[in-house]
Chain A
Amino acid sequence: MLNFLKIVLALAFVITVNTASAQQSKPILPGATKGILRDTAHNYVLKSATVSVYKLADSSLVSYQISNNYGEFSFKNLPVGVSLRLDVSHVAYQTLRKKFTIPNDKNFIDLGTLIINPKDNTLDEVTVTIPPITMNGDTLEFNAAAFKLDSNAVVEDLLRKIPNVTLWGDGQITVNGRVVKSVLVNGKPFFGGDAKVATQNIAKNALEKIQVYNTVKDKNNPLDSTLTVNLKLKKGKELGYFGKVGGGYGTDHRYEADASFNVFSPKMQLAIVGASNNINKSLNNVNTLINNSTFKGVGTNVEYQPDFRASGINQPNAGGVKFTYNFVEKPSWENKNTVTSSYFIQNTNNDFVSNSETTTSINTTDKIYEQNTNTSSNINNNQNFDAKYELTKKNKALTISHNLSRNKGENTNETFRNALNTQNVLTSTNNTFNQSSFDNSRFNFQVDFRLSQNYMKPKRIKGVNISYAITVNDNENNRSNLTDFTSFTNAASNRRFDRRYETKYNSVYQQINLELPNLKSLFFGKSELGGIDFQLSNSLNLNNRKDDNQVQDLNTIANSYLNNAYLSNHVETNFIEETPGLTITKSFYKSLSNRYNKNLTLNFAPKQKLIHQENKSQRSFQNITRNYQRFMPDASINYSDNQYGEYYKSYSVNFNTKVRLPSIDQLAPLTDSTNLYSLQRGNINLREAVDREISLSINHYDQTNKNTLNYNLSMTAGFTNDQIVDSTFIDDQNRRTNFLTNADGNRYLNFYGDARKAFKFKTSELQINLNSQISNTKTPGYTNSLFAFSKNFTTNTGLTVNYTYKSYLALAIGQTYGTYRSKQEAFNTEYSGVNKASTLSSSYNITKKFTLNTNISFNQSSSSNADDINFTIWNASAIYRFLKGNNAEFKLSALDIHHQNTSIINYGSGNSFTVGSRNVLQQYFMATFSYYPRQFGKKAAVKK
Chain B
Amino acid sequence: MLRKTPSSIFVCLLFAFNLQAQTSKVDSSEMVTLRIDPDAARGAAVSQIFDEVKFIPLETTKESLFGSINQLRTTKDCYVIYDYDTKSVLIFNRDGKYRAKVNSTKVVADADEKDKQVFYGFNLIKNKDESLIRISSGKNYFFFDLDGKLVKKVAVGKRNTLDRYIKFADSLTTIAPYYVYKNGKDSTNYEVAILNDKKEVGLYFPFESDRFDKDQYMGGGNPVTDYGTDNELFYIRYYEYNLYKIKPKSVSLAYHIIFPASISIPQNFMDMTEYKKKRVEYFEKNPNQIYGISNPYLIGNNIYFKTNTLGWSQDKKNALVYNLKNGDLTSLKNLEPDTLSQFLPVTDGGSFYDFSNHGFHSYEDGYLYTSYSSLAMFSYKDLNAGKERKYDPILTKFFETQNKKSNPIIIQLKPKKN
Contacts and interface: CB of A to CB of B under 8 A. Distances in A.
Contact of A69 (B67, B351, B374, B405): B351
Nearest to B331: A44
A593 B86 CA distance: 10
A69 B383 contact: yes
B380 A593 contact: no
B115 A528 contact: yes
Contact of A594 (B68, B115, B116, B351): B68
B375 A644 contact: yes
A591 B67 contact: yes
A516 B76 CA distance: 55
Contacts of A24: none
Interface residues of B, number: 38
Contacts of A884: none
Interface stretch (B5-13, B36-44, B93-101, B193-201): B36-44
Given A43-B43, A44-B43, A456-B280, A137 B313 contact: yes
A58 interface: no
A626 interface: no
Contact of B350 (A69, A72, A138, A528): A69
Contact of B66 (A44, A138, A592, A644): A592
B375 A42 contact: no
A756 interface: no
A69 B42 contact: no
A768 B374 CA distance: 35
B313 to A, nearest CB: 5
Kindly name the residue among B85, B280, B331, B337 whose own CB sees the greatest number of chain A CB atoms within 10 A. B85
A186 B374 CA distance: 39
A591 B68 CA distance: 11
Contacts of B65: 592
A44 B352 CA distance: 19
Given A69-B350, A69-B383, A594-B68, A42 B41 contact: yes
Interface residues of A, number: 24
A380 interface: no
How would you classify the secondary structure of chain B's contact residues: helix, strand, loop or mixed? loop
Nearest to A643: B405
Nearest to A138: B313
Contacts of A591: 67, 85
Contacts of A48: 314-315
Contacts of B375: 594-595, 644-645
B315 A593 contact: no
A592 B67 contact: yes
A45 interface: yes
Nearest to B85: A592
Given A42-B334, A69-B380, A70-B383, A593 B43 contact: no
Nearest to A528: B115
A291 interface: no
A909 interface: no
Given A42-B41, A43-B43, A47-B350, A593 B85 contact: yes
Contacts of A776: none
Interface string B310-340: 0001110000000000000001001111000
B221 to A, nearest CB: 17
Nearest to B66: A592
Contacts of A45: 43, 334, 336
B350 A44 contact: no
Interface string A590-621: 01111100000000000000000000000000
A453 B408 CA distance: 36
A44 B380 contact: no
A48 B333 CA distance: 14
Interface string B400-416: 00001100100000000
A43 B383 contact: no
A152 interface: no
Interface string B262-290: 00000000000000010010000000000
Interface in B45-76: 65-68
Nearest to A74: B386
Given A45-B43, A528-B116, A456 B334 contact: no
Given A43-B42, A594-B373, A456 B216 contact: yes
A564 interface: no
B345 interface: yes
Contacts of B373: 593-594
A421 to B, nearest CB: 73
A676 to B, nearest CB: 73
Interface string A543-579: 0000000000000000000000000000000000000
Nearest to A72: B383
A378 interface: no
Interface in A637-665: 644-645
A386 to B, nearest CB: 35
Contacts of B345: 69
Contacts of A42: 40-43, 331, 334
Kindly name the residue among A43, A72, A138, A594 whose own CB sees the greatest number of chain B CB atoms within 10 A. A594
Contact of B405 (A41, A43, A47, A595): A595
Contacts of B352: 594
Contacts of B331: 42, 44
Interface in A42-57: 42-45, 47-48
B376 interface: yes
A928 interface: no
A44 B42 contact: yes
A68 interface: yes
Contact of A70 (B68, B315, B337, B404): B337
Contacts of A528: 115-116
B389 to A, nearest CB: 11
Given A42-B42, A48-B315, A137-B313, A593 B383 contact: no
Nearest to A531: B116
A802 B42 CA distance: 51
Contacts of B376: 594
A114 to B, nearest CB: 15
A568 B217 CA distance: 75
A-B CB proximity, top 10 nearest: A44-B43, A593-B68, A593-B67, A594-B373, A44-B334, A592-B67, A594-B375, A43-B42, A43-B43, A42-B42
17 contacts: A43-B42, A43-B43, A43-B44, A44-B331, A48-B315, A69-B380, A69-B383, A72-B383, A456-B216, A528-B115, A591-B85, A592-B65, A593-B67, A593-B85, A594-B352, A595-B67, A645-B375
Given A48-B315, A594-B67, A594-B352, 9 more contacts: A42-B43, A42-B331, A42-B334, A69-B345, A69-B383, A70-B383, A594-B373, A594-B408, A595-B405
